[in-house]
Amino acid sequence: MKTIGILGGMGPMATVDLMKKIILSTPAKADQEHIPMLVDNNCLIPDRTRAIKGLGPSPVPEMVKSAKRLMAGGADFIIMACNTAHYFLPEILPHISIPVLSIIDVAVDHIMEQGYQQVGLLATSGTISTGLYQKALEAKNIKCIAPAAQRQHIVDDMIYDGVKANNEAYDTGDIRALLADMRKQGAEAFILGCTEVPVAVSMYGLEGVFVDSTDELARAAVKFSREEK
């Protein structure tokens, strides 16, 4: 089996969630049948959304350091526990010599398989502003429903003030109302387009039809790892 390299720390809880989902997606009956994983939980990587907005330093140098550590440790391919970080992939790829599986691609592939025509997008304002998911969905003739600009902060607040702050008592009234409104706009399902959002769904008991991008990346990583080199 190929060794999975996880470029993590974006954030730490999302990294653990990805690892857990890889383990749960692996058809193993003993320790020795699980897939080797190398994890670089680099919490020094600057905030990706702030960088995209021009409010903070680029995460690329630290991400490249992590990728190189994973390659040196023997990783055969890399996955990243952060949707927004995929915006910076074009700057990172020239520095590495192993494949990178895209969380965006595998999530959109799953949406295609399920036959959804209209999906809501729950992601950071950074991911929203880059159009990563919107462009990928439009290429497949799938309508993307994002929160109205004045309500995007509701998703960001849940991510930063809720999950990243490990705030189990976070008030979810606004996010529940937002989900209901997006359903009325035609969202058949919701892309959990930030790796903290699946954690939030579990932590706060949010309800809905969800496409968990972390879960889809985990499944793709397991499949890729078990294929012949």
Instruction: Give me the active site residues, please.
Output: 82, 194
State the helix-helix crossing angle for 103-114 and 213-226, rounded to 10 degrees.
100
CA dist., res. 219 & res. 155, Å (int): 25
CA dist., res. 174 & res. 71, Å (int): 42
Cβ–Cβ < 8 Å for 226, 22: no
CA dist., res. 156 & res. 69, Å (int): 30
Pairing of strands 4-8, 77-80: parallel
**Number of H-type helices and E-type strands within the chain:** 11, 7
CA dist., res. 172 & res. 161, Å (int): 11
DSSP state of 210: E
